[in-house]
Amino acid sequence: MLLIECPWCGPREDSEFTYGGQAHIVRPSPAESASDAHWAEYLFMRTNPRGLHREQWQHSAGCRQWFNVERDTVSYRILRVYRCAEPASTDPQ
């Protein structure tokens, strides 16, 4: 079991959460002028690092809020949990 700390509700079991993919993906702007290649990059291309990874999670069985998690993909250790409006850490991704 993975214990995830919701910024609003506190520590909960991972079964209460839904994984939302890589965090900090920037949508093309303006959307109308983005090329097909740019849209494909935005929609499908994600990093798959060994080590620090920033992810989006939703507390789907609780407060239903979205937040970000910095997690080590090797050990599954959660290094930091932060709200979506907060910046990522300065550590390299």
Tell me the whole-structure pTM to 2 decimals.
0.84
Question: 34-43 pLDDT, tens per residue?
Answer: 999 999 999 9
The secondary element (H helix, E strand) that includes residue 19 is strand 18-22
State the virtual CA torsion across 45, 84, 51, 37 in degrees, nearest 10.
10
| pLDDT beyond 90 at 7 | yes
| Residue 17: other Cβ atoms inside 10 A | 19
* Residue-range domains of the chain with CATH: 3-25+38-83 (3.30.2270.10)
| Residue 45: other Cβ atoms inside 10 A | 9
Distance CA 5, CA 7 (A): 6
Joined tokens for residue 67: 């937040």
Question: 44-67 pLDDT, tens per residue?
Answer: 999 899 999 999 999 999 999 999
